[in-house]
Amino acid sequence: MKPLFQPRALRIAILGALILTPAIQAAGSVTPNKIVRVEPILKEMAATQAELPVLLVLTAQPQHALAKRIRAQYEPKLELLARQIRDLYAPYRPKTVMATEEEELAFDKLRDAQLPTDIKGRVDEINKQREALARQMRQEIAKTTEQAIAVSQSDALAVVQGIGGRVMERIGVVNAIAAVIPSGALDKLASYQGVTEIAYNQPGKPELDNQASSLGVNAFWSDGYDGGIWDVGVLDEGVDETHPALAGHTFYENYAPNGAHGTGVACMYGSSNATHKGLAFGLNAIIVDNAGDTGTSMSG
C-alpha cells in the first residue's frame, strides 16, 4: 500500500504557536490526548514488523510567532537600506512601462552597463550592510527558536526512550523528532500529550546523480542553454550561500534561515559541481524566501 504521507514534506495538523501548558510530571508519563493523529499506515505496519520509523510532530510550535516578532524588530532598518538602493536606481529607471519581459531584461542589462561606478559601489556597499543585518536577524531567530523548543524536545526524547525507542534526529524548522519505536508502543506514544501527530517516516531514495540525464538536458546544454541570464526562486527553508557548489551565483534573500533542504533545492538548479550539476547551472541569481512553518524539513 502506498504511504499516505511523505515525511519530508510535513503536513502539520495544528499550526501556530500552540504552547504546552500542563507540566510533564515525569519522563514517560502519559495523559489522554484525543487530538493526536496517528497515520493509518503505521497501524498496518505494526501488525507485521517489530519496529516503526516515526516522525513526531510536537504540540508546541512557537517558531512562527518568534520569527515574526524578531523580524518586526529588524525590518524597519532593512527597509531603510532597501529604500536607499531604490533611490540610487531611481534616476535610471525607464520612464515608460516595459511591454514584455524581454524588454525589461534588455533595459536592465543596459542600465547596469551605464550605471556610474560610484553608484555601483554605493549599491554594493548597502547590499553588504543589508545582508549582514539580515544574517544577524536569521541567527537570532535560529538561536531563539532552538531555545524555545529545547524543553519540549527533551521531554519527547525522554518519552521515546522510556518506551524503548531510539531518537534519530531533532528537527527545528518544525518542532518534531524522528524516531524508531517498538510497534507495540504506538498507542502509548499516541497518548503522550506533548505530541500532536505521529507520521510514518518513510525513507527517501536519492536520485540526484541521474536527474540531468533522465530529463535529457544534456542536449540543451550542448546548444548553450544552461540558465544564461535567468534567475531562479527558491521558496523553502533558506540556502547556504557559502556552499561550494553554488559559488559564482548572486543571492537575494528575504531573511530566510539557512537550511539543508533549501540548499539542496538550490543545488538542483544552480549547482556547478562536476558530478552533481544543476539543471540550469549557468543561471545568474538565486532568490530565496522562507516557506514558513508549513514548509519542508530534511536533514541533508
In degrees rounded to 5, what are phi and psi of residue 233? -105, 135
Which strand (E) or helix (H) includes residue 68?
Answer: helix 63-89
Q: With bands split at pLDDT 50, 70 and 90, how would you rate the model's confidence at 274?
A: confident
The predicted structure's pLDDT at residue 208 = 58
d(CA 206, CA 214): 14
For 183-224, write each residue's pLDDT tens digit. Answer: 999 999 999 989 999 999 987 766 656 667 777 888 888 888
CB-count exposure of residue 61 (10 Å: 0-12, 13-18, 19+): buried
User: Can you read off the three cell numbers belonging to residue 247?
Assistant: 559559488
| Alpha-carbon torsion (184, 186, 191, 193), positive or negative | positive
- Rounded mean pLDDT, 18-39: 47
User: Can you read off the three cell numbers belonging to residue 274?
Assistant: 562536476
Q: How many helices (DSSP H) and strands (DSSP E) are in the chain? A: 8, 8
User: What residues pair up with 198 in beta bridges, in sequence order?
Assistant: 38, 56
For 144-186, write each residue's pLDDT tens digit. Answer: 999 999 999 999 999 999 999 999 999 888 899 999 999 999 9
Strands 166-171, 176-182: pairing kind? antiparallel
The predicted structure's pLDDT at residue 7 = 41
The predicted structure's pLDDT at residue 43 = 93
The predicted structure's pLDDT at residue 186 = 94
Residue 40, SS3?
A: helix
d(CA 237, CA 256): 6
Q: Which residues contact 48 (CB under 8 A, 6 or more apart)?
A: none
pTM, entire model: 0.56
Asked if 173 and 62 touch (Cβ cutoff 8 Å), the reply is no
